[in-house]
Structure 1
Amino acid sequence: MIPRGRPTLELADVAQLAGVSLATWRRRHHGAFTAAVHPLPGSERPIIYDAAQVHAHLAGEPLPPLPTEPAAEDLLTDQEAGAVAKVSASTIRADAAAGRMDPGIERHGRRWWTRAAAEARADRQPQYKGRATGSRDKAPRVRPDHRVAEVATELAAAEAGRRVPVTAAELAELYEVSERTAERIMARARASATSAPAAE
């Protein structure tokens, strides 16, 4: 999480501020630095640090504390946004790509969502409500795969020329599955589009 309005730095930026190469920083200074300055919670690939704390450490000054109260403008990773919205990280990414929620912003080579966007996603009613309590319907309780509908929408957009062709590699990365599974999702999406009744 990046607290609202806080500038952030990667390790290469820290080394540059210290006036040394990244290799020299890792060899001579990194141990003392990490003992004093902790990465921002949830930051991975790359690990990032609060800029104000980095500057204070390099100046030999006490580190300013990070905000402790959550704010609507906090920036969250897909995992953190999913935890707030009570959905998976892949659902956050898929909803953002399909325009069902805020698209997020790019920072440090990855996408982040505001806490407000994640909370708005949490407030949205789920599309699948399941069977009513006491229902005598004996049909299997199979939850529809949201990925099929999402991919069908993207395939239609590609066919209409509104986006580049959908690939199994793209879907494998989006949904964190193998390309073989992604191909099956694409096949089901095409089948659902073919079997859908034509609009009158």
Structure 2
Amino acid sequence: MIPAGRTPLSTADIAKRQGRKTLLRGAVQQLPEPISRPGARTLIWDADQIDAHLAGKPVPELPADESPDDLLDREEARNVLVGLGVELKPEAWRAYINHGYAPEPDREIFGVGHWYRRTIVAWPDQRPGEGAGGGRPHGSKDSKPRDRATNPRLREADARKARVQKVLADSNGQASAADIAAAEGISERQAYRLLTQLQGPAE
């Protein structure tokens, strides 16, 4: 996470501060802890902490409080949503992002999409199938049918239903919500709703 108001640095930025072209692995290990989450492919550091470290001064602490302007990478954003009660597995969140159902990243930091915390916190009320994001805006009086052929989200929804129908046919109706969720990269709750639409409620 990049705390609000902090300046992120990459390995290239730190190397430049040291007058080097690249940052050797041993030098990286001597730096303060990155502010990017553990396991992140792209390491990111805080500028104030790095400058203090290079100057031989005590490394300042990062802000302890959460801020709406904190920047979160994809997995950090998903964890915030899970904390808000949204059932969202990594593959489902990735599918939302890839298909344009999730909000666009607010900033690109060293090639990695990041979202403001406020963007992610607001998303559950706007996501597909949940309120305004799943259909027409609340209060809309437009009764003209939407053109499924020109609406990418509706086209994708129709294509998904067709794929699930084929899975059901091939399995003689035995495919479970877990099977569908794994195949489509969605949550099991979404898969269950989709199966219910196609098969009807269980008697």
After superposition, the C-alpha distances for 1:10-45 in whole angstroms (9 at most, x for unaligned) are 11211110112325x435x33432xxx001141622
Q: State the shift of 1:7 in Å.
A: 0.9
Conserved? CA contact 1:102–1:117, under 8 Å:
yes
Aligned residues of 2:101 and 2:127 also touching (Cα < 8 A): no
Question: What's the counterpart of residue 19 of structure 1?
Answer: 19
Q: Which amino acid in 2 is paired with 1:110?
A: V
TM-score, with structure 2 as normaliser: 0.54
From 36, 40, 60, the equivalent of 2:35 is 40
SS at match of 1:113: strand
The amino acid of 1:103's aligned partner reads E
Q: TM-score, normalised by structure 1?
A: 0.55
Q: Which residue of 2 aligns with 1:103?
A: 104
- Secondary structure of the residue aligned to 2:37 is coil
User: Take 2:157 and 2:45, find their aligned partners in 1: how far apart are those partners?
Assistant: 36
How many residues are treated as equivalent by the alignment?
135
State the distance in 2 between where 1:10 and 1:68 align.
Answer: 22
1:78–1:89 contact (8 Å) kept in structure 2: no
Identity level (%): 32
Structure 1 residues 16 and 47: alpha-carbon distance in aligned structure 2, compared to 1, 3 A threshold: same
Give the AA of the match of 1:15.
Answer: A
Consecutive unaligned residues in structure 1, runs of 5 or more: 129-148, 157-180, 183-200
* Aligned with 1:152 (options 155, 173, 186): 155
CA contact (8 A) 2:36 2:43 kept: no
Distance in 1 separating the partners of 2:112 and 2:8: 13
Give the Å deviation of 1:3: 0.7
Equivalence for 1:57? 53
Gaps of 5+ in 2: 83-87, 131-151, 160-182, 185-203
Taking only aligned residues, the RMSD between alpha carbons, in angstroms, comes to 3.3
Q: Provide the residue aligned with 1:174 in structure 2.
A: none
Counting only pairs closer than 5 Å after superposition, residues 33-182 of structure 1 correspond to structure 2 as 33=31, 37-42=32-37, 44-86=40-82, 87-96=88-97, 98-104=99-105, 105-124=107-126, 127=129, 150=153, 152-153=155-156
58 and 155 in structure 1: CA distance in 2 versus 1, 3 angstrom threshold: farther
